[in-house]
Structure 1
Amino acid sequence: MISGAPASGKGTQCEMIVQKFGLVHISTGDLLRSEVAAGSEIGNQAKEYMNSGRLVPDEVVTTMVIGRLSRDDAKEKGWLLDGFPRSFAQAQSLEKMKIPDIFIALDVPDEILIDRCVGRRLDPETGKIYHIKNFPPETEEVKARLITRADDTEEKAYIHYLYRMTR
């Protein structure tokens, strides 16, 4: 399992770990976006929370993760959880399932997280993530189609920053 704040580098580290060990990368963010895009019942539940800027409840996220862990590829190859668990209740759900508890936590200063978050861009055709300064796209064609994900705005980054400051 790998954890860290948004834009801490979880996806980058996961890519390298998955490539080296042949694991299935299971990202809660990707699962949520996929279920919402598919218009599934659980995706529609999640969408209501996401659109209003609220956290998706633990039960919804846990159901998605457990469903993904039960697929054949994850059972056969092994898996790397990205961004889960994020709460005590989610951790308890893993404990009940007797999930191994090897855990990597990425700790990145808040100022860097904010810069990474607001500079991040998504290629909607390939799903590849870029950064306008640190990892720009290879071509002008790719650059022209990049979008900012709804959760990568300066406002959301500062909200996360303030949340971390109050813990």
Structure 2
Amino acid sequence: MLAQQRLGAARQPAAFRAGKVYARPVRRTAVKARATLKVMISGAPAAGKGTQCAKIIEKYGLVHISVGDILRDEVKNGTAAGKKAKDFMDRGVLVPDEVVVEMVKSRLAQDDVKQNGWLLDGYPRSASQAEAIEKEGIRPDIFLLIQVPDELLVERVVGRRLDPVTGAIYHLKYNPPPADIVGRLVQRSDDTEEKCRVRVATHNANVDAVVGYYTDCKVDIDGTQSMAEVFEAIATALDAAVASKDPLEQFCKDSPDADECRVYDD
């Protein structure tokens, strides 16, 4: 018995043997909140931006913000900014940047955005818009630019067909429709080569000026790949942005207890 006591004492830390108070390492679950991302995404018509936005929202839980949607909501709800916008829209002129920026600021200040982060879709579209939101301190953690050659964009647009019965969209080359419905498919009026080239040219004329404001956080994405490959590239970029904002995020990924991230206090 005495030998066992001596053996137990020998195994105790020196602090115990010296009569000092010793606290064993405490294991506790880390209180960890995922870093909220601020993301801008841009791409020409038919670059696949809509598809990728849906995937981003699903995986990262960001609040999708489209300026077109904001405009419609503000006008519908009769807000002060909405009334200003409606006045311009009723006169058939563009809504001034300062009015749109006011709406964007208001939306970004809402609780769901603060809690989850945001994905600003297709905005800013011009240098003046970028400058306006820059003055308001609205900056992304990452600016995603989906790059697709003009000729491929035109091919994607011109080959699109809409099923008026189901609302499904097919592509004559990349997503052929079933043979039994081909006869009822229609081409949307803005899916012609002429109109597509105008839209692409407008995008190209503005995007370089916009990107100039975000060179420090811009990530080019090759949009000629499959949808899955494009999203894989986007996810890699977003994961890196999360890790840079929240080092614990990367620690938890690398930890053997990744499903229940823990830290240790000595």
Q: TM-score, normalised by structure 2?
A: 0.45
Instruction: Tell whether the 8 Å contact from 1:4 to 1:106 is kept in structure 2 after alignment.
Output: yes
Question: What is the distance in 2 between the residues matched to 1:70 and 1:109?
Answer: 36
Question: What is the distance in 2 between the residues matched to 1:26 and 1:105?
Answer: 17
Instruction: Tell whether the 8 Å contact from 1:85 to 1:91 is kept in structure 2 after alignment.
Output: yes
Deviates more, 1:113-122 or 1:78-87: 113-122
Q: Deviations over 1:51-86 (max 9, x none)?
A: xxxx65433433332232233221221110110111
Q: 1:114 aligns with which of 154, 162, 166?
A: 154
Q: Deviations over 1:110-155 (max 9, x none)?
A: 12222333427598x9xx88344445789x99xx79884x755544
Counterpart in the other structure of 2:133: 94
Give the number of the structure whose alpha-carbon radius of gyration is greater. Answer: 2
Instruction: Tell whether the 8 Å contact from 2:98 to 2:132 is kept in structure 1 after alignment.
Output: no
CA apart distance, 1:19: 0.9
User: Any gaps of 5 or more consecutive residues in structure 2?
Assistant: 1-39, 207-266
Q: 1:10 aligns with which of 46, 49, 54?
A: 49
Q: 1:62 aligns with which of 101, 112, 126?
A: 101
Q: Percent identity, aligned pairs only?
A: 46
Q: Deviations over 1:19-77 (max 9, x none)?
A: 11100111234445x3598495325634724xxxxx65433433332232233221221
Question: What is the distance in 2 between the residues matched to 1:26 and 1:122?
Answer: 28
- Write out aligned runs for 1:41-52 (5 A): 41=83, 42-43=85-86, 45-46=88-89, 48-49=92-93
Q: Given residue 90 of structure 1, which amino acid in structure 2 is its aligned partner?
A: Q
The count of corresponding residues between Structure 1 and Structure 2 is 154
Question: What is the distance in 2 between the residues matched to 1:121 and 1:159?
Answer: 21
Are 2:110 and 1:71 equivalent residues in the alignment? yes
Q: Secondary structure at the match of 1:103?
A: strand
Instruction: Tell whether the 8 Å contact from 1:46 to 1:60 is kept in structure 2 after alignment.
Output: no
User: Any gaps of 5 or more consecutive residues in structure 1?
Assistant: 50-54
Are 2:148 and 1:105 equivalent residues in the alignment? no
